[in-house]
Copies of this chain bind each other. A is one copy, B any other.
């Protein structure tokens, strides 16, 4: 393995997620997206629209991982305080970026430009834009912090824009093996031995419950194709030996 590990955290900002009013769609999307491009998502946090909470989380996470992605809180209303909090966490000032005002005026009559909308043009000194192909107003990146919208369609477009400019590492590959009806408790000991015998491989067992019974899948993950194949083969052999119902 020659490529280094690139890590990330995701910070979801918004009272509406914590109250249950809005069901988050960005965690699962971002997790899958980053995995596919070779960035390991290592932690997610959801915090309310409170300055102290956001600043503390930004600082804890940006220092610990290669990248920190945030979603939410970049609109024009009083509860949109992400830009202010990121600037505060990094100890930099915000400024009104005329390029963003110009972008907004592509969708807006000049007489409709007001103080609240101008807030969306404020980004930290030193930040670069993250293009928003959906509704123009960009997110931004400063140092290793990438600030995106909370609206899923816009967040996804922003991820598409910023991704090619990120350093990526070896991609985590995975293989899913159906447990063929064998209960977890029956194969758990053997699976643990396979996990021990294959360092560099992460093996998980995932039960799904439906129609009164469990249906299990075993997922084997590694950044090395050969290592992955060897471990997955061992799991398949093991299940066959235990007499899975289709093995």
Contacts and interface: CB of A to CB of B under 8 A. Distances in A.
A246 interface: no
A20 to B, nearest CB: 3
Contact of A27 (B24, B176, B196, B214): B24
Nearest to A18: B41
A224 interface: no
A90 interface: no
A230 interface: no
Given A19-B221, A174-B19, A209-B153, A189 B116 contact: yes
A160 interface: no
A106 interface: no
A48 B202 CA distance: 11
Interface stretch (A74-82, A91-99, A123-131, A138-146): A74-82
A23 B28 contact: yes
A168 to B, nearest CB: 15
Contacts of A204: 14-16, 49, 77, 79
A55 interface: no
When all copies of this chain in the complex are counted, the total is 2
Given A15-B202, A112-B185, A116-B192, A20 B48 contact: no
A22 interface: yes
Interface in A149-208: 151, 153-154, 172, 174, 176, 184-186, 188-189, 191-192, 195-196, 202-208
Contacts of A46: 27, 43-45
A15 B219 CA distance: 10
Most buried by B among A18, A33, A35: A18
A47 B43 contact: yes
Contacts of A189: 114-116
B48 A45 contact: no
A75 B186 contact: no
A20 B120 CA distance: 31
A188 B78 contact: yes
